[in-house]
């Protein structure tokens, strides 16, 4: 059983998989309270579903790319068994996690997107930097940046902690102008991938289930 907030079919709005059709399984629960959180409804809302019930909903969309997100999905112990089940059924599996829970038990085949919390999130002290040791070239390390302080902090973290993963920089929606973040990246010659939240551009920041 897993407590599920929502299951929906959309295009990937972030990561190097941006634009690809994907089934999203959003799990309930999070023990962080980031200042820019856009999924507060996932803190508590949800329904207990069996693995078979979740799989039936996923299969209905006829899509082999599945992302497990939240909330913080790694707070539910059964999620690890569900990763194994999806992989056994030949799904391409992605995980979006907040960076404060160890990913050591996540199967190697799962594409891990670890969101390191910047100072502007008010949650940076919760980061578990040991996670960087478990990331390889297929995985992704994400920084959501709201101001210059966040940007400088992210640069310092990357200089201090080496990682084999892809690096993603994105601006906090409606807080930092995209062109400002891009200009900083180009000025410093950073080898990072700039991204916007595509789903918020296509629909709106308030639209759920997309």
Write out pLDDT tens, residues 111-137.
999 999 999 999 999 999 999 999 999
Domain assignment present for 208: no
Answer yes or no: is pLDDT of 19 > 90.
Answer: yes
Neighbour order of strands in the sheet with 2-11: 47-49, 2-11, 21-27, 65-69, 92-97, 111-116, 140-145, 166-171, 193-194
133 DSSP assignment: G
The CA distance from 11 to 75, in Å, is 25
Closest CA to 131 of 121, 122, 140: 140
pLDDT band of residue 110 (cuts 50, 70, 90) is very high
Task: Please indicate, yes or no, if residue 209 is contained in any of the structural domains.
Answer: no
pLDDT surpasses 90 at 192: yes
Q: Which pLDDT belongs to residue 177?
A: 96
26/69 Cα distance (integer angstroms): 5
Q: How many domains does the chain have?
A: 1
Is residue 35 predicted with pLDDT exceeding 80?
Answer: yes
In a domain, 207, yes or no: no
The yes-or-no verdict on residue 205 having pLDDT over 80 is no
Q: Which residue has the tokens 């069996």?
A: 50
Could you tell me the sign of the dihedral formed by the alpha carbons of 80, 85, 90, 92, in that order? negative
The pLDDT, as a whole number, for residue 39 is: 86
Q: Is residue 119 part of a domain?
A: yes
> Residue 153: what pLDDT?
97
* CATH code, domain carrying 133: 3.20.20.70
In a domain, 17, yes or no: yes
Q: How confident is the model at residue 199 (pLDDT cuts 50, 70, 90)?
A: confident
Its domain, for residue 146, covers 2-202
Beta-carbon contacts of 164 under 8 Å, excluding residues fewer than 6 positions away, are: 135, 136, 137, 139
Q: How many CA atoms lie within 13 A of 121 on its CB side?
A: 25
The yes-or-no verdict on residue 206 having pLDDT over 80 is: no
Average pLDDT, the chain: 94
CA distance 22 to 8: 9
Going by pLDDT thresholds of 50, 70 and 90, the confidence category of residue 49 is: very high
pLDDT bucket at 140, cuts 50 / 70 / 90: very high
210 is a domain residue: no
CB 197 within 8 A of CB 176: no
């Amino acid at each position: 059983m897993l407590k599920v907030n929502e299951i929906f079919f959309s295009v990937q709005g972030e990561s190097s998989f941006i634009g690809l059709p994907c089934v999203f399984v959003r799990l309930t629960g999070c023990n962080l309270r980031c200042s820019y959180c856009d999924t507060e409804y996932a803190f508590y809302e949800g329904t207990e579903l069996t693995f078979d019930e979740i799989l039936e909903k996923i299969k209905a969309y006829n899509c082999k790319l599945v992302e497990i997100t939240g909330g913080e999905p790694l707070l539910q112990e059964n999620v690890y068994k569900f990763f194994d089940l999806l992989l056994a059924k030949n799904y391409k599996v992605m995980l979006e996690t907040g960076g404060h829970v160890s990913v050591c038990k996540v199967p190697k085949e799962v594409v891990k997107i670890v969101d390191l919390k910047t100072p502007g999130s008010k949650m940076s002290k919760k980061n578990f930097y040991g996670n960087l040791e478990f990331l390889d070239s297929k995985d992704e390390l994400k920084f959501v940046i709201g101001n210059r302080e966040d940007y400088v902090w992210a640069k310092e973290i990357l200089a201090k902690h080496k990682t084999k993963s892809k690096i993603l920089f994105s601006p906090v929606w409606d807080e930092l102008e995209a062109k400002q973040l891009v200009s900083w990246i180009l000025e410093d010659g950073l080898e990072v991938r700039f991204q916007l939240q595509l789903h918020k551009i296509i629909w709106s920041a308030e639209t759920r289930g997309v």
